[in-house]
Chain A
Amino acid sequence: MTTIDEARPTATTVDEAQPLRTTRTTGGDKAVAVASHVVLVVWTIIILIPLLWSLLSSFKSSSEIISGSPFALPETWLFGNYARAWTEAGIGRYFLNTVLVVGSALVLVMLLGAMCAYVLARYSFPGRRLIYYLMLAGLTFPVFLAIVPLFFVLRGMALLNTLPGLVLTYVAFALPFTVFFLYAFFRTLPEEIAEAAAIDGCGDWRTFFSVMLPMAKPGLASVTIFNFLGLWNQYLIPVAINTRQENWVLSQGMGAYAGQIGYEIDFGGLFAAVVITITPVLIVYVIFQRQVQNSVTGGALK
């Protein structure tokens, strides 16, 4: 994908005998450019201000947040807010749970999704279309429809309120999108390569793991990013089926604050928790922003 801000050869350098094609800016252009920048700057500020305010407030005491000016710098920078949020409010524990659950679910869903998509894309057998449409059904219905029965299915398997239960549920709900995306991707890989691998004596497993999977890397990266953001932000599934507090994930820990905003709580700690939650993902996003945007929009445009 080309981007607008990359340096382009301007038309002026091409041929001086074609004055019509120079990139001379007119007065109207300037007005439009200024107006456009104003609109974009305003929107950028609306995005950034609440985030920066959260960062600033994370160093303040609760009384400063409640009664002081929201724009003032902290009287003293209270780094203790972070320590309190991490240990006393349990954010540290929820953070580790989230890393564990999302990490395991990602590995599993990518592996299982890739295998499933590979078989669907490469082999023809009775029931193939049926499986494809069943996956489509899973993408269409809202999770809310499943949430009550899911609770009892997990209870029946003794997986309710356990981290493995949460991991399996994440895998199951991330699977249809993963299969769809990778199915399309595997279809684009040339048939001959799999055949060549088979002639060279590779079994199905070997062909898949050492030939096809490495070739599918760009597709896998896109889906992994998409799934990571989706699972890291997931809220409904854990609040319904993972209610034991020591197993909470970050979104649940943050949700617990939500009901208490009207009361006397540790607001400094709340903002510190907000910053702890969003900073790692935001940093990773800024570093990989181009890939993230491409894969996310690529996924949605499919």
Chain B
Amino acid sequence: MAVFLGLPLLIYVGLVLWPFGQAFYYSLTAWSGFSPPKGFVGLDNYARIFSDATFLRAMRNNVILVVVVPLVTIVLSLALASVLTVSGSSTGEVRGLRGSSLYRVVSFFPYAVPAIVIGLIWGMVYNPRGGLLNGFLTALGFDAFAAFPWLGDTDTAMGATIFVMVWAMVGFYMVLFVAAIRGVDKEVFEAARLDGAGRFRTAVTITVPLIRDNVQTAYIYLGIAALDAFVFMQAMNPTGGPDNSTLVMAQELFRTAFTQNRWGEASAMGVVLALVTLAFAALVFVVNRLTGAEKDEGKRT
């Protein structure tokens, strides 16, 4: 039995927990280049990254992402999931739409495509030279967009990137919410209908409260993905976008570590990223509790 537990634990502790712990220690040392870490410098690295305009810019971009990406993704995927599950006939049994499985399968496609490839495809779609989007817009008569650089303009780079992240993630959460809505007792929806609630009202006042724990989980996952965002950004704006308008903390961390070899500062950025992630998860959790998460009778019966 010792082998059963010992071997996995050895790998896990050595390659996951030990590095996590070391990161906190390294963040307190003056360590750059390939020499061993030298000198305990307290919070100097933190002071330095928090007075670095580029890192602060990256942090601000992450905040934008963490506010917008989960919100848009959840609203869109909930809307699509509701349409799929309860927008069938308003008489008889509460049912979904005909042909719903086709939509479900296709929407889920992006989950089976590596994020780096999604970013690459959309980088080409947005490409000012021969890109699909500008080709489409000029075909519609918007000639001003003939060579518009969507990812190269400070006004559009962030929005265009957010759209791609939403595109990539909606399908997964839609399927998740479809599963959650199916877990709700059908009689709840039938009772709502008998009481005269329309479809929209049912979705907002019945469905969302009943699956709020799933929404919370989705919000936390999406927030974590938005705080990371590394792959999408590396694929579409590897250098941080025009005027660093899409630079995220993860990219700055990666650059600080692996091109500049400033390991101490990079570790401090890692700690900040981890703390922001935990704070975000805690915030979502608290908000969910404060707005009355215990009202979940009728769920999963």
Contact = CB atoms under 8 A, between A and B. Distances in A.
| Chains A and B are bound partners | yes
A32 B199 contact: yes
- Secondary structure of the B side of the interface? helix
A84 to B, nearest CB: 17
B210 interface: no
Contacts of B288: none
A229 B228 contact: no
B50 interface: no
Contacts of B113: 51, 233, 278, 281-282
Interface in B170-191: 170-172, 175-176, 179-180, 182
Given A235-B114, A301-B176, A142 B12 contact: no
Nearest to B175: A293
A39 B20 CA distance: 45
A235 B115 contact: yes
Given A141-B20, A296-B172, A4 B84 contact: yes
Contacts of B97: 4, 33, 36-37, 40
B49 interface: no
A29 B91 CA distance: 9
Interface stretch (B64-72, B153-161, B234-242): B234-242
B271 A70 contact: no
B8 A255 contact: no
- Secondary structure of the A side of the interface? helix
A274 interface: yes
Given A8-B93, A23-B91, A54 B121 contact: yes
A176 B20 CA distance: 14
Contact of B106 (A25, A44, A149, A274): A44
B209 interface: no
Given A115-B4, A261-B124, A293-B108, A148 B235 contact: no
23 contacts: A3-B100, A23-B93, A26-B91, A40-B80, A68-B130, A70-B131, A70-B135, A112-B8, A116-B9, A134-B13, A142-B277, A145-B271, A146-B20, A154-B15, A172-B12, A175-B11, A175-B12, A235-B114, A258-B116, A258-B236, A282-B109, A282-B112, A293-B175
A53 interface: yes
Interface in A182-197: none
Given A39-B83, A137-B17, A293 B104 contact: yes
A1 B214 CA distance: 17
A33 B132 contact: no
Interface stretch (B51-59, B251-259, B289-297): B251-259
A172 B96 contact: no
Given A69-B135, A277-B117, A144 B175 contact: no
Contacts of B301: none
A291 B126 CA distance: 34
Given A44-B107, A116-B4, A3 B101 contact: yes
Interface centre among B5, B8, B139 (most CB of A within 10 A): B8
A153 B26 contact: no
A126 to B, nearest CB: 12
Contacts of B60: none
Interface centre among B11, B170, B172, B180 (most CB of A within 10 A): B11
B125 interface: yes
B90 A11 contact: no
Interface in B72-121: 79-80, 83-85, 87-93, 95-117, 119-121
Contacts of A169: 15
Interface of B: 1, 3-5, 7-9, 11-20, 22-23, 26, 79-80, 83-85, 87-93, 95-117, 119-125, 127, 129-132, 135-136, 139, 167, 170-172, 175-176, 179-180, 182, 199, 214, 217, 221, 224, 227-228, 230-231, 234-236, 238-239, 250, 253-254, 257-258, 263, 266-267, 270-271, 273-274, 277-278, 281
A221 interface: no
Given A5-B100, A70-B132, A255-B116, 6 more contacts: A32-B199, A71-B139, A115-B7, A145-B20, A293-B108, A297-B175
A50 interface: yes
Q: Which 5 A-B pairs have the closest CB atoms?
A: A4-B96, A172-B15, A70-B135, A149-B19, A149-B22
B123 A22 contact: no
Nearest to A46: B167
Interface centre among A141, A151, A286 (most CB of B within 10 A): A141
B116 A254 contact: yes
A94 B117 CA distance: 14
Contacts of A22: 91-92
Contacts of A8: 93, 95
Contacts of A255: 116, 234-235
A259 interface: yes
B224 A142 contact: yes
A8 B247 CA distance: 51
A5 B8 contact: no
A263 B63 CA distance: 32
A95 interface: no
